[in-house]
Structure 1
Amino acid sequence: ELNKTGKEPGQFHNNCSGKHLGNIAACKAAGLSWDSVHEPFHPVQLDVKALISDFCGLPEDFINVGVDGCGVPVFGVPMKNMALAYSRIFDTGFMNGKYAGVQELLHKAVTQNPDMIASDDRIDTQLIRLTRGDHFGKMGSDGVFCVHIHSKGIGVALKILDGSIRAVAPAVIETLVQLKTLSLDVTEKLKDFHYPPVKTWSGKVIGKITPVFKLKKVK
């Protein structure tokens, strides 16, 4: 749309703008000023931290708080706690239904509007669309990706150590294949994410990215 009108993208078009709008909406709903909503001790950010503590099963004192390119507080937790949070994200029975209304609304929103999560060429959107909302995946920064598998009630979290984006999709699909959460039909439709082709600048396919790891059970 910007190209059609000849306009240049600005701060409002940042891929994190939804999070900022959510913060502002929360301020408006609570009757709070949003002038300092980007500060870690703003009431909205404290509420976000408390929510993350609940879903991650981690005391707030163990949650690291920093600032990334979005310019608002971000919260750091161990990978196992990320996975735990994603296992609970749409579990309406969690904490005796404390978040049930919001969880139902969120699940409906992402299932009906997967293109608003990312775009058609992103694994986030295609995973939601092809599984009809059973798998909810979300890309983070620097090679982080988390998945909620609704039918299994489990969560997955992974991190590419060097932050490589191109390794994320193959690792995610391979993990789900090994966990046997995807149907053969969906796996086939995701093959270009599972084994992304490597092409020359002229478009000739000269190879592919192949995940070679094996998941291990840990006690």
Structure 2
Amino acid sequence: MSKKRAMGGFVDEMRAAAMKSHTKDQAWEGEKEPEGPPVSKWEPSIEGYLCFLVDSKLVYDTLETIVQKAPHPSYAELRNTGLERSEALKKDLEWLKEQGHTIPEPSSPGNSYARYLEELPEKDPQAFIGHFYMVYFGHAAGGRQIGKKVAEMILNKKVLEFYKWEYELSKMLQNVRDKLNEVASNWSREEKNHCLEEIEMSFNYNGEIMRLILS
């Protein structure tokens, strides 16, 4: 019974909404037809990958700062989950700089998404939770696989800290699923639907940042 409860709940609805935004190339449950080449056919550049990492760090910095400040009480439940990526990205960018690469400033996709996230915390917790879910769970799934493949192509198979976690990832994800289900347990159906509506917006923002790899 407990396992069924842990795996179900509102997070299952969020996952289903996310799959509607994914293509069949991005996830086996994806519903959309792919518009571009599969990852195996990508031709990434180190300059584009650096832009992707920098913009990703800005998004994680923004999310993690909001969660730490917890302008809405429910966000306090999402502190120190082990999924945080800002420090890992900081180490990666420092390493890349040591290799002689110039680290760019954040670009339009990252700046736009960070600004949008900063507007949500106090006035729209349901929307914020939707973005929190998409960013962290998306990276732990398809984002991790794409990033590792790109790193193999252009970083001589170096695995960045961005794609490593201190503890067992599956357990940390389940812990956060439970927390998200608890946060959403008191929401109305209307509030839950509003959260689900933000899933596609988050997917689109993250897709713009991911596409920087090919720039």
TM-score, reference length from structure 1: 0.24
- The structure number with the bigger radius of gyration is 1
Larger relative contact order (CA 8 Å, sep ≥ 6): 2
Specify which structure has the higher proportion of strand.
1
